[in-house]
Amino acid sequence: MIPYGKQDINQQDIDAVVAVLQSDYLTQGPQVPAFEQTLIDHTDAEYAVACNSATSALHLACLALELGKGDWLWTTPITFVASANCGLYCGAKIDFVDIDPQTYNLCPKALEKKLILAKAENKLPKVVVPVHLCGQSCDMASIHALSLEYGFKIIEDAAHAIGGEYQDKPVGCGNYSDITIFSFHPVKIVTTAEGGAALTNQQVLADKMVLLRSHGITRDKALMKPVSGLDMDAQGNWYYQQLELGFNYRMTELQAALGVSQMQRLNQFVKDRQRLAHRYNKLLAEFPLILPMQLENANSAWHLYVIGLTVEDGLRSKSKLSQKALFQQLRELGIGVNLHYIPVHTQPYYQNMGFVVGDFPHAEYYYQQALSLPLFHGMTDAQQDEVVSALIQVLGA
């Protein structure tokens, strides 16, 4: 089976992890700050906070922006559930903004319409989470302009997009958002096995995320509060204080060392994905398929290559093959196609909150006809040709 995504681990990665195992620190040593520095170097953001997952990073980001009970978080329905769940962790309410039918990203026009209605009802969101689907940036300039007008904060979910660019700047630079999160899950662009990070240019947000990443505990004397009945001058270097209710969202040294090593190949990973994506574009140009739409002002990191199966007069409508049948036949031919994503508002957990199928028509239409083809660093041209041959066989193209 040719998988839809796969990590690329070389001897240098293995040596880096083994070296940590032979060192004094398996956690809270020098590798985590070194990894954070690679993220700062790459993006030009001021601060990076590495975590044990992007889900944790999203949670910390929401907490740092003081999202809480009674607040609203808005995101896109076409994303992994974590982009929405982070708001629920904070007691906030969730709503969705439909996608742009061409880019599949959160649509700024739909966002503006919804903001106008929400303002009239006094239900404006505190946080909006645009997701750079497949690795291509959202229209951040438009979303940012709306944030100034309507007073919401922005968390970029860039789980797919490390190595991508928007307006000639690396995704994660934070020019149009408060916080950007990355994921280092093995199917993503670079991996730390499990892992994530939150990047920001605002020191207060970075400090808050660092504090909450580790139980809300500090060893910084300047932050400590007097405790009545406790002689503060008698407290030695063992002394720490818990200031907030935090979590254990720390990344290990093993993960960070893998990340440092992987980051050295980030450009290579993205270049290879871009090359393969352009090769798909060429090989599939004459197929009755919708190929990924590329924006002029963005360079995708190409986490995913998503094709649309329904075009007017397309072979699929002639052959009447359902999405399900195509998926099944391609899998049987050893092609690890996948589907990203089931619209979040159709999940039973979200249906219980009152969302219904029909709420976000563009997202639902996308879901009925999308398919992700295999794409990963190290995929060979021969493997890609095999995917194309299978498509010819199945579509009868």
Ligand X SMILES: *Cc1c(COP(=O)(O)O)cnc(C)c1O
**Nearest distance in Å: CB 95, ligand X:** 17
Q: 45, 201 in Cβ contact below 8 A? A: yes
CB-based burial label for 216 (10 Å; 0-12, 13-18, 19+):
middle
| Choice from 80, 104, 327, 350 touching ligand X (CB under 6 A) | 80
The two three-digit tokens of residue 284, written as one number: 């599939």
- Nearer CB in complex with ligand X: 55/201: 55
* Angle, alpha carbons 167-168-174 (nearest 5°): 70
- Please give the Cα distance from 278 to 287 (Å, whole number): 15
**Nearest distance in Å: CB 304, ligand X:** 9
**Nearest distance in Å: CB 117, ligand X:** 26
- Please give the Cα distance from 394 to 309 (Å, whole number): 12
Indicate whether 106 belongs to the interface with ligand X (CB under 6 A): no
Indicate whether 105 belongs to the interface with ligand X (CB under 6 A): no
370-373 and 305-308: which strand pairing? antiparallel
Indicate whether 345 belongs to the interface with ligand X (CB under 6 A): no
| Choice from 53, 75, 180, 191 touching ligand X (CB under 6 A) | 53
- State which amino acid sits at residue 243: L
- Nearer CB in complex with ligand X: 159/379: 159
Indicate whether 79 belongs to the interface with ligand X (CB under 6 A): yes
Task: Tell me which residue of 262, 260, 248, 266 sits closest to 51, measured CA to CA.
Answer: 248
Indicate whether 159 belongs to the interface with ligand X (CB under 6 A): yes
**Interface stretch with ligand X, choices 22-30, 79-87, 229-237, 271-279 (CB under 6 A):** 79-87
Task: Tell me which residue of 118, 199, 101, 112 sits closest to 147, measured CA to CA.
Answer: 112
Judged by CB under 6 A, how many residues of this single chain contact ligand X?
14
- Nearer CB in complex with ligand X: 54/394: 54
**Nearest distance in Å: CB 188, ligand X:** 6
Task: Tell me which residue of 289, 394, 272 sits closest to 331, measured CA to CA.
Answer: 394
- State which amino acid sits at residue 129: V
**Nearest distance in Å: CB 86, ligand X:** 9
**Interface stretch with ligand X, choices 17-25, 80-88, 219-227, 348-356 (CB under 6 A):** 80-88
- Site residues for ligand X, window 172-201 (CB under 6 A)? 183, 185, 196
- Nearer CB in complex with ligand X: 73/159: 159
| Choice from 95, 157, 272, 364 touching ligand X (CB under 6 A) | 157
The residues near 248 (Cβ < 8 Å, ≥ 6 apart) are: 52, 214, 215
Gyration radius (Cα) of the chain, Å: 22
**Nearest distance in Å: CB 260, ligand X:** 18
Q: For residue 105, is it left (φ>0), alpha (ψ between -120 and 50) or beta?
A: beta
For residue 371, the surrounding DSSP H or E stretch is strand 370-373
| Choice from 2, 20, 49, 54 touching ligand X (CB under 6 A) | 54
**Nearest distance in Å: CB 81, ligand X:** 8
The two three-digit tokens of residue 361, written as one number: 């028509």
Which residue ranges make up the site for ligand X (CB under 6 A)? 53-55, 79-80, 82-83, 131, 157, 159-160, 183, 185, 196
